[in-house]
A = this chain, B = another copy of it.
Amino acid sequence: MTLPVDSTDAPLDTAAIKADFPLLNRQVNDHQIVYLDSAATSQKPRLVIDTLDRYYEEINANVHRGAYHIAELATSATEDARARIQRFIGAPSASEVIFTKNATEAINLIAYSWGRANLNEGDAILITALEHHANIVPWQQLASERGVEIRWLPLTDDGRLDLTDLDQMLDGVSLFAFSAASNVLGTLTPVRQLADAAHEAGALCLVDASQALPHLPTDVTAWDCDFMAFTGHKMCGPTGIGVLWGRAELLDAMPPFLGGGEMILNVTREGFIPNELPWKFEAGTPPIAEIIGLGAAVSYLEAIGMETVRAHEIALTDYALRTLNERHGDDLVIHGPTDTDDRGGVLSICYRDIHPHDLSQVLDQRGICVRAGHHCAKPLMKLLGVGATARASVYIYNDESDVDLLSDALAEAGEFFSHQPA
Contact surface of A with B, Cβ cutoff 8 Å: 22-23, 26, 28-29, 33, 37, 40-41, 43-44, 48-49, 52-53, 56-62, 65-71, 100-105, 107-108, 111-112, 132-134, 136-138, 140-141, 144, 150, 152, 231, 233, 238-242, 256, 258-264, 266-269, 271-272, 283-290, 357, 360-361, 363-364, 367-373, 376, 378-379, 382
Is A379 touching B269 in the complex (CB atoms < 8 A)?
A: yes
For A61, the chain B residues whose CB sits under 8 A away are: 37, 40-41, 369
Q: Which residue of chain B is the closest to A369 with respect to CB atoms?
A: B68
Q: Pick the contact of A62 from B40, B60, B108, B262 — CB < 8 Å?
A: B40
Q: Within the complex, what minimum Cβ distance (angstroms) separates A238 from chain B?
A: 6
Q: Within the complex, what minimum Cβ distance (angstroms) separates A372 from chain B?
A: 6
Q: Within the complex, what minimum Cβ distance (angstroms) separates A162 from chain B?
A: 16
CB-CB under 8 A for A53 and B49, given A134-B260, A360-B68? yes
Is B108 touching A260 in the complex (CB atoms < 8 A)?
A: yes
Is B141 touching A69 in the complex (CB atoms < 8 A)?
A: no
Is B28 touching A379 in the complex (CB atoms < 8 A)?
A: no
* A33 CA to B58 CA, complexed, in Å: 11
Q: Within the complex, what minimum Cβ distance (angstroms) separates A108 from chain B?
A: 5
Is B233 touching A285 in the complex (CB atoms < 8 A)?
A: yes
Excluding A40-B62, A68-B361, A240-B240, 12 further A-B contacts by CB distance (< 8 Å) are: A26-B57, A37-B66, A52-B53, A69-B364, A104-B258, A104-B285, A132-B260, A133-B259, A133-B260, A240-B287, A240-B290, A262-B376
Is B363 touching A68 in the complex (CB atoms < 8 A)?
A: yes
Q: Within the complex, what minimum Cβ distance (angstroms) separates A69 from chain B?
A: 5
Q: Which residue of chain B is the closest to A33 with respect to CB atoms?
A: B70
Q: How many copies does the complex hold?
A: 2
Is B231 touching A285 in the complex (CB atoms < 8 A)?
A: yes
* A60 CA to B52 CA, complexed, in Å: 15
* A288 CA to B22 CA, complexed, in Å: 18
Most interface-central of A133, A367, A379 (chain B CB within 10 A)? A133
For A238, the chain B residues whose CB sits under 8 A away are: 56, 240, 289
* A2 CA to B256 CA, complexed, in Å: 44
Is B49 touching A56 in the complex (CB atoms < 8 A)?
A: yes
Q: Within the complex, what minimum Cβ distance (angstroms) separates A284 from chain B?
A: 3
For A268, the chain B residues whose CB sits under 8 A away are: 378-379, 382
Is A41 touching B70 in the complex (CB atoms < 8 A)?
A: no
* A371 CA to B75 CA, complexed, in Å: 14
Q: Which residue of chain B is the closest to A41 with respect to CB atoms?
A: B62
CB-CB under 8 A for A287 and B287, given A272-B140, A371-B65? yes
For A70, the chain B residues whose CB sits under 8 A away are: 23, 28, 33, 369
* A40 CA to B59 CA, complexed, in Å: 14
Q: Which residue of chain B is the closest to A284 with respect to CB atoms?
A: B104
Q: Which residue of chain B is the closest to A286 with respect to CB atoms?
A: B239
Most interface-central of A49, A132, A240 (chain B CB within 10 A)? A240
For A132, the chain B residues whose CB sits under 8 A away are: 260-261
Is A260 touching B138 in the complex (CB atoms < 8 A)?
A: yes
Q: Pick the contact of A67 from B44, B53, B240, B364 — CB < 8 Å?
A: B364
For A33, the chain B residues whose CB sits under 8 A away are: 70
For A71, the chain B residues whose CB sits under 8 A away are: 37, 369, 371
Q: Pick the contact of A53 from B53, B239, B360, B372 — CB < 8 Å?
A: B53
For A23, the chain B residues whose CB sits under 8 A away are: 56-60, 70
Is B285 touching A239 in the complex (CB atoms < 8 A)?
A: yes
CB-CB under 8 A for A105 and B289, given A62-B41, A137-B263? no
Q: Pick the contact of A285 from B58, B102, B370 — CB < 8 Å?
A: B102
Q: Within the complex, what minimum Cβ distance (angstroms) separates A266 from chain B?
A: 6
Q: Pick the contact of A266 from B141, B256, B378 — CB < 8 Å?
A: B378
Is B104 touching A261 in the complex (CB atoms < 8 A)?
A: yes
